[in-house]
Amino acid sequence: MKALDLLSRYKTVRQRSVGVCAPLTIEDHAIQSMPDASPAKWHLGHTTWFFEAFVLGGLGQRAFDDAFGYVFNSYYDAVGPRIDRARRGMVSRPSLEDVHAYRGDVDDRIAHALATNALDRAAQSVLELGLHHEQQHQELMLTDLKHALGTQPLQPAYRADLDRRAVGSIVPLAWIDFAGGVIEIGAGDRGFSYDNERPRHRVVVEPFALATRPVSNAEVLAFIGDHGYGEPRLWLADGFAAATRDGWAAPLYWELRDGAWMHYDLAGVREVDPAETACHLSYYEADAIARWAGTRLPTEDEWEHAAGDRRAREGHWADEDRLHPLAATGEGLTQLFGDVWEWTRSAYAPYPGFRPLPGALGEYNGKFMSGQMVLRGGSCFTPRGHVRASYRNFFAPSTRWQMTGVRFARDRGAS
């Protein structure tokens, strides 16, 4: 990518992060509602630190503030010590004003480095990695803000202007068959990809079928009505223990009020729409609902194989500015990309021949290949163009605050 094109993209991505935070109060920027989430102010600072540490640091440039590395380092042990993740919301300084000044300083230095051709090809590759990294944090900003606002007593709207008109009706769930065989998955050599998507390699996939759409709220309501949350035979042992311990009786943000299921989204509280694609389901819930339906979750190999099918159609991204899944519409494989991240039954593990990035950047993905499950496809919080068919997201199986859903799969010939 040419330096001017890279600079234009840099400015666009960086401005979008500021735009995500525009509706927030100063107090909203600082709140941390649970250890797994981070304050918006921290996200703004951390993404800036990434460029300073890994791009400008390679040029031998000074730090804006030597203390910021301790505050805004996320998990890069090779870079140095950092504040405990659960304490990010306790840090009142630097102020939000100081964080924006930090962003401005780093942005100016990146722009100058690009304009003067100070970044060689390797440095430009790290800069591109940083842009994709910031897009990931733009999605995390929304999920973290939703948890921060949705778990407050008043459940205030992030934005009251978001469109919440009912769109679509429930499309009957159908199946598309795939022959299987020896297939190739993973990212190729052209274009950007994370190290955990590589190398491209062959796998054997048995014949299977994939549902034409993700699970809707209607199916979740039926699962609830059939006492699915209380039936241990549907659950993995760890999942049922988590559901029992934490009192799960419905997806996150759902609440029964006067006999009606209501839920919180970024526009406020409203009644659950049965036609909308279900979200905020943990892996454990996704697996239990699939068992209840007499199906299973797809493997990530199956999912990626299906994603290359000409019938696969995109759903809705953050760019549509709805910030909530819509009802699936149309024929064929709908919403395979966008709307909700789809859990697979595959544990997050390295591909054959996996090589992490060199240096501290090798901590980006590889160190988390334990205790996580793979998700595919992106969501309505994901910026358009960020996700590929080979893209591997991953979270712990109990995760519910992410925009996660489920698509059924089954072995060919199963009914």
pLDDT digits (tens, 9 = 90+) for 4-21: 799 999 999 999 999 999
- Of all residues in the chain, the percent with pLDDT exceeding 90 is 93
* 2-6, 46-50, 375-379, 392-396, range with the lowest pLDDT: 2-6
* 158-167, 271-280, 389-398, range with the lowest pLDDT: 158-167
The full set of domain ranges for the chain reads 3-150, 175-411
Amino acid letter, residue 166? A
For 161, the token pair is: 């202007």
96-115 helix and 3-21 helix, angle to the nearest 10 degrees: 170
Does 175-411 match 3-150 at the fold level? no
The pLDDT of residue 310: 63
The pLDDT of residue 165: 83
Q: Does pLDDT of 169 surpass 70?
A: yes
CATH of domain 175-411: 3.90.1580.10
pTM above 0.85, yes or no: yes
Q: Chain-wide mean pLDDT for the chain?
A: 96
Spell out the CATH class of 3-150: mainly alpha
Q: Does pLDDT of 415 surpass 70?
A: no
pLDDT tens digits for 28-41? 999 999 999 999 99
Exposure of 180 by Cβ count < 10 A (0-12 exposed, 13-18 middle, 19+ buried)?
middle
The pLDDT of residue 360: 94
* 64-73, 130-139, 159-168, 344-353, range with the lowest pLDDT: 159-168
The pLDDT of residue 249: 98
Query: Please, are residues 89 and 147 in contact by the beta-carbon 8 Å criterion?
Result: no
